[in-house]
Amino acid sequence: MADRVKEELFEDEENIWEFIYLKIVEEAKFTEVTDRVWGEYLRENGKIYWDVSDIREHYETEMVKTLHKSFMEDHKILALFKALKIPFPEDVEKFFERRVSVKLKVRHEILIDYRLPSTYVIQETKKKSTTIVPEIDQYYEISKELEDKMWKHVDENLGKIKNCNFATVSFWMKLADELQIRTFIGYDMAKHFIVLLRSCWSRNMNLKLKMGLLTDLKFRMSETIRQSMLSMYNVEIVLDDNGFIEKWKLIRENEPATQDSPSKRITQNLPPSKTRIKIGRWHYPVGTLSFYDHESDENDQPDLNSEHATSSETSPATKEKTPSLLDDNDSESEEEDKDETYKVQAKMTGRSAFLPYDRLEMAKFLYDEIFHGEDDEIKEIQPKGLTIWKKYITKYKSSRTAANLSSNYRKSFQSILHTVELPREKILKLYKHLKIEVDHSTKEILQKKFKANVEYVGNFVFSWTFVEKSNETPCLSPPKKRTRQQTPDSSPEFDPKSEQGTSRGATRDLRSSMRTNSSAENGRNRENRRENEKDEENEKVENEDEEEREMEQNSNSSDDWDNTKWIQEYGVSNRSIPLSGYLRNMKEENEEIGMAEAEEIDRLAQEKLDELNETAKQILSEDIQLQVPDNVQKDYEKQLEEILELCKKYAKDEEKFLEMIYRMAESSTTSKEEITSKMSVDVRRDNFKNFWDKYSSKPDTNTMMLNSSAEDLESSDRADILSSLPVLTNKDVVDIGAGIGRFTTVLAETARWVLSTDFIESFIKKNQERNAHLGNINYQVGDAVGLKMENSSVDLVFTNWLMMYLSDAETVEFIFNAIRWLRPHGVVHLRESCSEPSTGRSKGKSMHNAAEANPTHYRFSSLYINLLRAIRYRDEDNKLWRFNVQWSCSVPTYIKISNNWRQVHWLAEKVAAEDGAKETSFNELVELLSVTWQKEQEAWDAKLDHEKYMWTDSIFSTILNESVVPQNSAIFVYTPRSASPYVHINSHLLAEKFTCNVWNVELVPEFYRTSLTKATTLKDQRVRYGWNNNLQSSINYWQQKEASFDTLIATELLSTANDHELSALSSILKPEANLISLEPVESVDENAIRHRLSENGLKLLKIENVTEEAISQQEQYFKDHELSAEIIRKNWVLIHATL
């Protein structure tokens, strides 16, 4: 399918759906979409250049997936889902329930029936004309009369619209509509305008507008025409090598024209030659027009004497082909050229694309719309809709449609906003206020390109500070990275046994790349780059070289290091003991190993180090500079130390020691990263197994929970976890890290089949003894990381305290495995100790010896949420899947008994990924988990962990009393923190003041973690926190538990919740429950608020404008907490409503 057809199909989707609705639903002419439908559509709409297969393929691969996002009326979309039996997954079902409050009947993901609410109004559809459109000829003749009308159309719009619009089909379609001729002839006129443009230079029109038109449309001008315009219009034109207008100026009457040709062409005194007009295939203009260097025909040439005439013969440099709209192969006879009419072929092969200038104009428009008036006056807009783009079309007189602009914004503009030529601060403001989601790669670009420290809430820009001021207004490209010029000393020649081991220039270059984490540059371009570097940068490089030379002189000069230079260069500190030298010394320290065995060990280790040196040689010769962050470098040092410690341990057992060294030496992998990864995995798994081997002799509950008082809480802890799981009847389950089977027993009592696994054999034996009466359990001794299962084979992946014993890479690998093992809509349950052990900070109850190494990772709770939400997995059928994280909350038993809110568990469902989602890579997720998300959480901890009070306290105190919040009542607190991280509610103050129980819902993982920290610090068990993706998710959670709250207190409830969620609140609130919400609004419209509440079953009792106090309290809060943050200067209203 041609690219032009693809792009046009996307723009025509609405018309296609309307046609299908008309033929299948209204007229009932067809019962399904077949090639007959497509053939009729093509005939009725004049799409002669489309093929049935094109539209069929687009419908099956693209349109059916996005029907629910169509701009048609909702009742039409639902009717099409029902009539065509298009898959209706759960996410689409929820989409319509929220959007229209429609009652849906769905079976096996097919819409069976639906019932629209009584308030839904169906507008009458205008009946389409039944006039039969005759078949369209392939060619259409454009007469002289029509040419005159075309020039008149140009004259009327010249100076009113952008010049590039004159080359667009939509511009000429408007003329076709005005003349009441078939719209599709606009294509022919757009093509014919290329021919007419040849005579534009001689037409009687405004000279400045004419020159602008010729310049913008890239008219290729011959030297003859240039000289003619000089003599006729006193305009001096400079042409570039391709004959396009580079610049021009009007010459004053007394100012002589330049004698030498301003063009770079070679001119000769030859008479002008005649050429024929070539009418070839139409290539839809992409931005601007360009031509091959054809000479003008006889009608285009002025009547000049031969002594003034010049040839358009060009130099060799100008004879290179440039993109053209004219095909030299489609020639016609001179007789045809003399005709007054021309046959124009309707075949087209391209379509107008969005250029950088278009996106710059869009960005400027959006910025002006948001930040109109004063600096603190911010307007909310909806760029994904059509209204805002209709305003854009009116303002800029654009020929594009609102649907086209909206589609480009959604599919392209957001992902390339950082490339737009606007000041960096404006771009960051657009990211923030348009709430554009930023992926990992774009975050790096924003940091490096804009030289800014950007803070994020989730994946959305929240605030930023610039590292240094930029003198350039537009942020066009990232700053140049410093590189070194290759010198004879930096030759890639490398001899690991030579005196130097590796050339100083090359190794310095390699080390420099490790420190700066810069990208590799080709050695052939170094000379040019160095010439462009500033003197200051060169000075820094020389200083660094001097420092490196001093470091090399001070480094360990023993022979042991000669063969370990590669490891040393890649980040192992000089204090680290070389592996070869360490092994050589071991024969002196361990008499249990004989001299012969020690020499053999030394030889094998030496061979492995030589292999590493060979890899370094290859890396240097190919001029590859690896990127290794500082944390990886430190981790590698630690890993090597662990390996050496393990060697010491194994040295007491000759067989084990030799086995490990042989395994290291015989590895086929030669890269340092893979070698150390394999080694460190062995070390970690051995440490992990050693950690649990100490308890293998006591397979009981205390051991499983590493708590000497486990019997006091085991049964209630188990009940908390199991009660949160879905119904498992006829489901298949895998219990990973099952231990002695605390959960396996109950799981097997309801599930169809259970696989119970653990890597400690004694635990599995105990598990089998406990569950011998159950015949639906399989047992397996093995590591969770190495577990092998078939894809889509289970309905529940259950873990309890597992990932805290896995490294970051292993954790990511396990999550990939979990989504791979699960069937569609299967769930994974995770439970981990976050930030601290299950026994809390107290050491008294812990069975772990604090003096011994602890392999446990007590990660932030937000990291697990972000990981589950970020993963996108593509299966064997090329379907993309993700996790829908349903909830996250603390385990109640540990709050009651241990005052520990950091025992957290999660439930996530495997669902189809959203449209346009991209598959996530393993390395990307590891980097996010181990570095990015960790740093983001630490940054928010520093700001929010030590809040003395909240600025909303005084505002809520004016309306909250014992009648609104009864004593011993249950309060539902909702704090989405959409406008700002500092807009939330002091739940602990509520619990203390009114002696009530509070459930606080957070929507941002990072703020959920800071709330858990606050709870752990204050230790008020009446306050609990939960994380949900949205309000509806939290409502679903409490509906399952059949909960009922007395009061709802919220911030930004109306601005973040949809009508479906507002209506659903009644299912978890008691009759006549109170609702209090602090809302930021653009304008205070009491009637609109009252109407919306009423439509969703709520009655407005009181509304109060608290804008002045809200702004004042924010200013004081930021001052007291020494924070620099944006004050939300919208109108603030305090709403009191009831059911």
Q: What angle do CA 642, 645, 647 make, to 5 degrees?
A: 110
Domain presence at residue 481: no
Task: Give the whole-angstrom CA distance, residue 981 versus residue 971.
Answer: 21
**Which range has the worst mean pLDDT, 422-431, 577-586, 758-767?**
577-586
Verify that 681 and 557 share a domain, yes or no. Answer: yes
CB–CB of 703/695 below 8 Å?
yes
Residue 514 has pLDDT above 90, yes or no: no
Of 303, 323, 345, the domain-final residue: 345
Verify that 372 and 449 share a domain, yes or no. Answer: yes
Task: Give the whole-angstrom CA distance, residue 996 versus residue 988.
Answer: 10
Residues in CB range of 846: below 8 A, 6 or more apart: 706, 707, 708, 837, 839
Residue 702: C-alpha distances to residues 600, 849, 852 (Å): 46, 15, 19
Pairing of strands 460-466, 245-250: unpaired
pLDDT bin (cut points 50, 70, 90) of residue 587 is very low
| Higher per-residue pLDDT: 821 or 670 | 821
Verify that 325 and 393 share a domain, yes or no. Answer: no
CB–CB of 513/461 below 8 Å?
no
- Alpha-carbon torsion, ordered 1059, 1062, 1066, 1068, to 10 deg: 130
Task: Give the whole-angstrom CA distance, residue 315 versus residue 239.
Answer: 13
Q: Is 877 left (phi over 0), alpha (psi -120 to 50) or beta?
A: alpha
Q: What is the pLDDT of residue 854?
A: 62
Residue 60: alpha-carbon gap to chain centroid:
26
Express each pLDDT in 594-642 by its tens digit.
555 555 555 665 565 555 555 544 544 443 333 444 444 445 455 555 5
- Alpha-carbon torsion, ordered 1086, 1092, 1098, 1101, to 10 deg: 0
Residue 524 has pLDDT above 80, yes or no: no
Task: Give the whole-angstrom CA distance, residue 443 versus residue 1067.
Answer: 41
pLDDT bin (cut points 50, 70, 90) of residue 776 is very high
Q: Name the percent of the chain lying above pLDDT 90.
A: 28
CB–CB of 440/927 below 8 Å?
yes
Tokens encoding 25: 């639903």
Residue 922: alpha-carbon gap to chain centroid:
15
Express each pLDDT in 658-690 by its tens digit.
455 545 444 434 344 444 444 445 445 555 555
Element (H, E) at 936: helix 933-944
| Higher per-residue pLDDT: 352 or 62 | 62
Residues in CB range of 1052: below 8 A, 6 or more apart: 976, 977, 978, 979, 983, 1077, 1078, 1079, 1080
Task: Give the whole-angstrom CA distance, residue 580 versus residue 594.
Answer: 17
Task: Give the whole-angstrom CA distance, residue 500 versus residue 616.
Answer: 14
Domain presence at residue 633: yes
Task: Give the whole-angstrom CA distance, residue 18 versus residue 22.
Answer: 6
Verify that 679 and 771 share a domain, yes or no. Answer: no
**Which range has the worst mean pLDDT, 5-9, 390-394, 544-548, 910-914?**
544-548
Residue 329 has pLDDT above 80, yes or no: no
pLDDT bin (cut points 50, 70, 90) of residue 713 is confident
Mean per-residue pLDDT of the chain? 73
3-state secondary structure of 771: coil
Pick from 747, 744, 799, 753: nearest CA to 775? 753
Pick from 167, 135, 147: nearest CA to 350? 167
φ and ψ of 579, to 5 deg: -60, -45
Task: Give the whole-angstrom CA distance, residue 482 versus residue 700.
Answer: 60
Verify that 592 and 445 share a domain, yes or no. Answer: no
CB–CB of 975/999 below 8 Å?
no
Residue 742 has pLDDT above 70, yes or no: yes
**Which range has the worst mean pLDDT, 435-439, 733-737, 892-896?**
435-439
Domain presence at residue 940: no
Radius of gyration of the chain (CA): 36
Domain presence at residue 121: no
Of 115, 148, 172, the domain-final residue: 115
Pick from 470, 429, 471, 435: nearest CA to 450? 470
How many other C-beta atoms lie within 10 A of the C-beta of residue 15?
11
* Number of separate domains in the chain: 6
Domain presence at residue 812: yes
> Considering Cα of 600, then 603, then 605, then 607, what sign does the dihedral take?
negative
Q: Is 553 exposed, middle or buried (0-12, 13-18, 19+ CB in 10 A)?
A: exposed
Verify that 982 and 860 share a domain, yes or no. Answer: no
Q: How many helices (H) and strands (E) does the chain have?
A: 43, 23
| Higher per-residue pLDDT: 13 or 725 | 725
Verdict on whether the full-model pTM lies above 0.75: no
Task: Give the whole-angstrom CA distance, residue 16 versus residue 669.
Answer: 55
Q: What is the pLDDT of residue 565?
A: 37
One-letter amino acid at 917 equals A
Residue 607: alpha-carbon gap to chain centroid:
45
| Higher per-residue pLDDT: 985 or 437 | 985
Q: What is the pLDDT of residue 973?
A: 97
pLDDT bin (cut points 50, 70, 90) of residue 759 is confident
Verify that 587 and 438 share a domain, yes or no. Answer: no
Verify that 370 and 234 share a domain, yes or no. Answer: no
Task: Give the whole-angstrom CA distance, residue 347 versus residue 282.
Answer: 7
Domain presence at residue 934: no
| Higher per-residue pLDDT: 20 or 503 | 20
Pick from 1088, 949, 1030, 1089: nearest CA to 1075? 1089
pLDDT bin (cut points 50, 70, 90) of residue 726 is very high
Task: Give the whole-angstrom CA distance, residue 583 versus residue 577.
Answer: 10
Residue 1066: alpha-carbon gap to chain centroid:
36
CB–CB of 838/900 below 8 Å?
yes
> Considering Cα of 1039, then 1041, then 1042, then 1045, what sign does the dihedral take?
negative
Residue 867 has pLDDT above 80, yes or no: yes
Residue 851 DSSP symbol: T
3-state secondary structure of 518: coil
For residue 723, what are the domain limits?
A: 701-929
CATH code: domain of residue 1007: 3.40.50.12180
Q: What is the pLDDT of residue 620?
A: 44
- Alpha-carbon torsion, ordered 1056, 1060, 1063, 1067, to 10 deg: -100
Residue 546: C-alpha distances to residues 516, 549, 552 (Å): 17, 5, 10
Domain presence at residue 363: yes
Tokens encoding 475: 């942020």
**Which range has the worst mean pLDDT, 379-383, 599-603, 611-615, 812-816?**
611-615
Task: Give the whole-angstrom CA distance, residue 727 versus residue 747.
Answer: 10
Verify that 741 and 679 share a domain, yes or no. Answer: no
Residue 274 DSSP symbol: P
Q: What is the pLDDT of residue 857?
A: 83
Q: What is the pLDDT of residue 377?
A: 67
Q: What is the pLDDT of residue 687?
A: 55
Q: What is the pLDDT of residue 1096?
A: 92
Q: Is 896 left (phi over 0), alpha (psi -120 to 50) or beta?
A: alpha
3-state secondary structure of 278: coil
Residue 1086 has pLDDT above 50, yes or no: yes
Verify that 879 and 896 share a domain, yes or no. Answer: yes
Of 649, 674, 693, the domain-final residue: 693
Q: Given 3-state DSSP classes, what are the helix, strand and coil percentages for the chain, each rounded to the nearest 5?
A: 45, 15, 40
Express each pLDDT in 925-963 by its tens digit.
999 999 999 999 999 999 999 898 999 999 999 999 999
Task: Give the whole-angstrom CA distance, residue 694 versus residue 952.
Answer: 52
User: Half-sphere exposure (CA, 13 Å, Cβ side) for 346?
Assistant: 17
Residue 380: C-alpha distances to residues 388, 424, 1090, 1107 (Å): 11, 21, 21, 18
How is 347-391 classified by DSSP, letter by letter? -B-------HHHHHHHHHHHHHHHS-SSTT------TTSSHHHHH
Task: Give the whole-angstrom CA distance, residue 573 versus residue 779.
Answer: 46
Tell the residue number behind the tokens 């389409």, with chain if given: 128
Verify that 1048 and 1123 share a domain, yes or no. Answer: yes
Residue 260 has pLDDT above 50, yes or no: no
Task: Give the whole-angstrom CA distance, residue 925 versus residue 439.
Answer: 11
Residues in CB range of 899: below 8 A, 6 or more apart: 840, 1016, 1019, 1021
Verify that 962 and 1064 share a domain, yes or no. Answer: yes
Domain presence at residue 366: yes
Task: Give the whole-angstrom CA distance, residue 182 versus residue 765.
Answer: 83
Q: What is the pLDDT of residue 343?
A: 32
One-letter amino acid at 433 equals H
